[in-house]
Structure 1
Amino acid sequence: MRATFALRNVARTPLIRFVGKRTVPQSVDHTPRVHPASPSGILPDSFAAYRVKAQQHGPLGRASFNSTIGGHSGHSLGPVQAKAGEFFDRAELPSRFGRLPWSEAEIEAVETGGASMFA
């Protein structure tokens, strides 16, 4: 007997039981309204007007995009040098700040999920 074929023929009954009859609203008001937590309390004139003023990780308008760092290539910005006492990578730090080598006991503890520490 093929179990998958037998399971397809069985009527599926949902596990959730809803109380009462389902009612769909007759009319839904889709007119734009100001959010209750809006600082200004007014709606924008249009979506285009909103995008001109909106800021999310920088300006959204194309004219302002070309006048910022994002409008230029990284090469045109020139070389980037670390200031005195600043480092870009951990490998540039003095050896006292480097990573310590793993001991055999630590490697064994990681490979066994810590069980070797208690055995």
Structure 2
Amino acid sequence: MRASIALFNAGRTPLIRFVGKRSVPKSIDHTPRVHPASPTGSLPDSFATYRAKAQQHGPLGRAQFSGRVGAQPGSALGPVAPKAGEFFDRAELPARFGRLPWTAAEIEAIETGGASMYA
């Protein structure tokens, strides 16, 4: 007998059982609220004011947008340079933070799935 066919024909019963009848709230308040962990404790005035101050891979708030995505090249959005003490890539860090070279024992342990450590 094929167990998979027998299980398929038996029907599906969910493993989770909910207690009580489902109740949907009559009214839900969707007004925006400040997050309890917000550093400022206030909501932004509008998305435009938020975007004027936001920065993601360069300044976002520019008035030269013509309403199309990609209307300007990325270089026209402003410089994208790390601040003092910030780095974009691990290769830019000092040598003491660089990756260590693999040893032959580590390579052997990875290739054998760890079995060479016990043999």
TM-score, length-scaled by structure 1? 0.51
The answer to whether residue 79 in structure 2 is matched with residue 69 in structure 1 is yes
**More helix per residue:** 1
Q: Distance in 1 between matches of 2:22 and 2:50?
A: 39
Identity within the alignment, %: 70
Summarize deviations over 1:25-84 as a string: whole Å, max 9, x none.
Answer: 1111011112222233222221122111223444222359725225xxxxxxxxxxxxxx
Matched residue SS, 1:21 = coil
Partner of 1:76: none
Q: Distance in 2 between matches of 1:100 and 1:20?
A: 59
- Would you say the 8 A contact 2:52–2:62 is kept in 1? no
Give structure 1 stretches of 5+ with no counterpart.
71-87, 90-98
Q: Distance in 2 between matches of 1:67 and 1:106?
A: 46
The answer to whether residue 48 in structure 2 is matched with residue 48 in structure 1 is yes
- Would you say the 8 A contact 2:59–2:77 is kept in 1? no
Partner of 1:22: 22
Q: Distance in 2 between matches of 1:9 and 1:100?
A: 54
CA 37–100 in structure 1, closer or farther in 2 if over 3 Å, else same: closer
Structure of higher RCO (CA pairs closer than 8 Å, 6+ residues apart)? 2
Partner of 2:11: 11
Name the larger-Rg structure.
Answer: 1
Query: Which amino acid counterpart does residue 18 of structure 1 have in structure 2?
Result: F
Q: Distance in 1 between matches of 2:102 and 2:46?
A: 59
TM-score, length-scaled by structure 2? 0.51
The total of aligned residue pairs comes to 93
- Would you say the 8 A contact 2:34–2:43 is kept in 1? yes
Matched residue SS, 2:48 = helix
Partner of 1:35: 35
Alpha carbon RMSD of aligned pairs, Å?
Answer: 3.8
Query: Which amino acid counterpart does residue 112 of structure 1 have in structure 2?
Result: T
Q: Distance in 2 between matches of 1:38 and 1:10?
A: 52
